Structure 1
């Protein structure tokens, strides 16, 4: 079975080899308050050793302020699963999260179109 270069858990023909809920340990609710536009950034602290490879991958995507939506797209995971992973990282101090401060109105049409365009480029 040929494995994709996108990661050890992807197969060219079959797609993801493990279910997304397995990545989050079956959890479906994040412990931190995160939405699609929440910005997360790495603190420089290493994630706890018991966390999975997806956690380390997520920390690697947070070198600069990055939205939850962008991280979910990069990880190719559902947003809910991504929020659970990011919550784990917030709890162990590997990342910090804050609401976006660049826009006064998070439902602004310009902002929503920019997020949509970014997600389309990633997929």
Structure 2
């Protein structure tokens, strides 16, 4: 077998299938992540004994500031299911912090809306 085998296709990207990146796993031990959950790297050093692949390290580089999971998946160009599994690995090792999305704002009181409408009509 030749040593000059090309493992990356310029147009298609890496030849590795998404399930290979996760070792065939489809869920995490840390539970499910919401698409809008905010994630940031803790800045902790990666232990030499950790079994993190290049995709894990790539994700850590994308999380230098707090970002939603869906944005990280877009930038990494990986399916959201794969991102969830890889982020679960990072969370298990204490390398990221995850914050649930903020709850949707409650609707303003009807009286406030009536005051706004009255003010607009007065203009």
Same fold (TM over 0.5): yes
How far apart are residue 10 of structure 1 and its match? 4.4
CA contact (8 A) 1:10 1:16 kept: yes
Deviations 1:75-121 (A, max 9, x none): 111100100000000010000101122x526xxxxxxxxxxxxxxxx
Instruction: Give the count of matched residue pairs.
Output: 98
Q: Determine the structure 2 residue equivalent to 1:121.
A: none
- Structure 1 residue ranges without an equivalent (≥5): 4-8, 106-123
1:30 aligns with 2:31: no
Flag the structure with larger Rg.
Answer: 2
Gaps of 5+ in 2: 106-123
For 2:40, what is the secondary structure of its paired residue? Answer: strand
Aligned equivalent of 1:79: 80
Instruction: List per-residue Cα deviations over 1:22-50 (Å, max 9, x = no partner).
Output: 11111011222301101100101133441
The two structures have a TM-score, normalised by structure 2, of 0.70
3-state SS in 2 of match to 1:58: helix
Q: Which of structures 1 and 2 has the larger relative contact order (alpha carbons within 8 angstroms, sep 6+)?
A: 2
Return structure 1 stretches of 4+ with deviation > 6 angstroms. none
RMSD: 2.1
